């Protein structure tokens, strides 16, 4: 595990500075950098993190000619900051626990999302290392240490919306329909549906099943459990 000290390493904090470093390190040539700088303002106006802006500039590595895309820039950011890249499996996330750590508004404002709550503390994924703005205050509120990891801005935005929506649906389902000890996993929900115990009016349950089916299809998961 990387130490908290590593997250304080100085690194380029604007798209222009990142492009300059990539040019100086021989990863992109100067002509590419100049063209990319002209594109940056459009993405900056949308409030995107600097490394995401660079990934959208359609650059290619000067030597290997591989695309300097989102994956490339995430690995660059991890190397430069010493922060691990998160491996997020949505089907293993305890949605009610992680969404209880902070409000959706707080998560969106800081570009973060909690992805694990355990006896050692809380793991929070962030799209850009800006923890000085929120980490200390959040640790005081939750009274647990926070470990930081990186996730792509797209992942952060997607899971913010999906986890909080799913948490709302889970709470609604418990209140309306699932206050029963015999429902623990996906297969049992499907069985309930087959018996007619879950109908189209059970909107919360329908949303949960739809979400699980979506990820089962995407990841070809064979064993899906609701935590």
| β-sheet with 112-118: strand ranges across | 112-118, 121-126, 146-150
The whole-angstrom distance between residue 141's C-alpha and the CA centroid of its chain comes to 22
Q: Encode 139-165 in three state secondary structure.
A: HHHHCCCEEEEECCHHHHHHHHHHHHH
Q: Where are the domains of the chain?
A: 4-81, 90-219
Extract long-range pairs of 29-36: CB within 8 Å, 24+ residues apart: 29/62, 32/59, 32/60, 32/62
The residues that bridge with 121 in the sheet, in sequence order, are 118
The answer, yes or no, to whether residue 33 has pLDDT greater than 80, is yes
Residue 173 confidence (pLDDT) above 80: no
The answer to pTM > 0.85 is: no
For a pLDDT cut of 90, what percent of the chain falls above it? 52
- Range with top average pLDDT, 74-78, 159-163, 175-179: 74-78
């Amino acid at each position: 595990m990387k130490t908290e000290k590593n997250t304080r390493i100085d690194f380029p904090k604007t798209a222009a500075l990142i492009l300059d470093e990539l040019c100086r390190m021989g990863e992109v040539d100067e002509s590419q950098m100049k063209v990319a700088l002209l594109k940056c303002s459009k993405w900056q106006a949308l409030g995107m993190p600097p490394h995401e802006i660079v990934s959208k500039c359609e650059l290619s590595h000067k030597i290997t000619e591989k695309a300097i895309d989102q994956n490339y820039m995430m690995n660059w950011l991890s190397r430069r900051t010493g922060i691990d890249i998160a491996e997020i499996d949505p089907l293993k996330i305890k949605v009610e626990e992680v969404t209880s750590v902070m409000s959706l508004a707080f998560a969106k404002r800081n570009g973060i999302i909690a992805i694990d709550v355990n006896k050692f503390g809380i793991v929070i994924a962030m799209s850009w290392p800006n923890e000085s703005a929120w980490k200390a205050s959040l640790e005081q509120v939750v009274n647990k240490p926070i470990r930081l990891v990186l996730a792509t801005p797209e992942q952060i935005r997607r899971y913010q919306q999906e986890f909080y929506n799913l948490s709302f649906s889970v709470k609604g389902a418990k209140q309306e329909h699932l206050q029963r000890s015999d429902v623990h996993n996906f297969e049992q929900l499907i069985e309930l549906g087959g018996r007619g115990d879950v109908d189209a009016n059970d909107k919360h349950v329908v949303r949960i099943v739809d979400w699980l089916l979506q990820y089962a299809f995407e990841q070809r998961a064979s064993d899906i459990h609701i935590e």
